[in-house]
Amino acid sequence: MTHLTIPSLIGYTWGALGLVWLAGLAFTKGTVHSEPMGPRLFQIAIILFGFTLLGNTRFSAGWLGENFLSPTHSLQIAGLVLTIGGCLFAIWARIALGNNWSGRATVKAGHELIVTGPYSLARHPIYTGLLLASIGTALAAAEWRCILGLALIVSGFAAKIGQEERLMMQTFPETYPRYRQRVKALIPGLL
């Protein structure tokens, strides 16, 4: 029997999230309008490199592998809890979004503005969950590579949120501004 370590449990958590995303691809509506491919490729590159730094110990050489905090068992447990909680929140948001979901800023055929469930807490709850999970993973590893990865993920998501906000304002000019006033982008009551 294999001994489960905190890093392996974190890996399995991210793997489960990936499986939910892959399964959900089969249930999306057709795209009516989407962002240009150039900015999308740049965002993908930044975000993927960020997640690679966050989750791949091959980048633990030199200063990237140095600890920014003392890696205690308690810190690893806290990181695991945040990773699991963040992934579960992102999965809940992905399921709530249903067939309106896309990996890029798009308007789907018959697109609906979802404002219930996790979307009543944050306008971009998938990113909220992914960022929470990323912070948890970074805490559990406590290496500078994770901080750099987290910074790249945040910058990629910030660019993507800007595009999605513009697209939703164009698509729902009557209802989205009111939704924006009522619900924060990522952190309920703050941001």
Considering the domain boundaries, does residue 152 fall inside one? yes
Range of 190's domain? 53-102+113-191
* CATH (domain of 82): 1.20.120.1630
Considering the domain boundaries, does residue 59 fall inside one? yes
The tens digit of pLDDT for each residue in 28-59 reads 877 777 777 777 888 899 999 999 999 998 98
The tens digit of pLDDT for each residue in 70-95 reads 989 999 999 999 999 999 999 999 99
Which two structure tokens, joined as six digits, stand for 101? 């979901």
Whole-number pLDDT of residue 2: 60
Phi, psi of 175 (to 5 degrees): -95, -30
- At residue 149 the predicted structure's pLDDT band, cuts being 50, 70 and 90, is very high
Considering the domain boundaries, does residue 147 fall inside one? yes
Indicate the pTM of the whole model. Answer: 0.93
Q: Which helix (H) or strand (E) holds 106?
A: strand 106-108
Domains held by the chain: number: 1
Considering the domain boundaries, does residue 74 fall inside one? yes
Considering the domain boundaries, does residue 60 fall inside one? yes
Considering the domain boundaries, does residue 108 fall inside one? no
> Residue 1: is its pLDDT beyond 60?
no
Cα Rg of the chain, angstroms: 17
**E strands, 7-122, where?**
31-34, 106-108
Considering the domain boundaries, does residue 184 fall inside one? yes
* CA 40/CA 6 separation, integer angstroms: 33
Considering the domain boundaries, does residue 65 fall inside one? yes
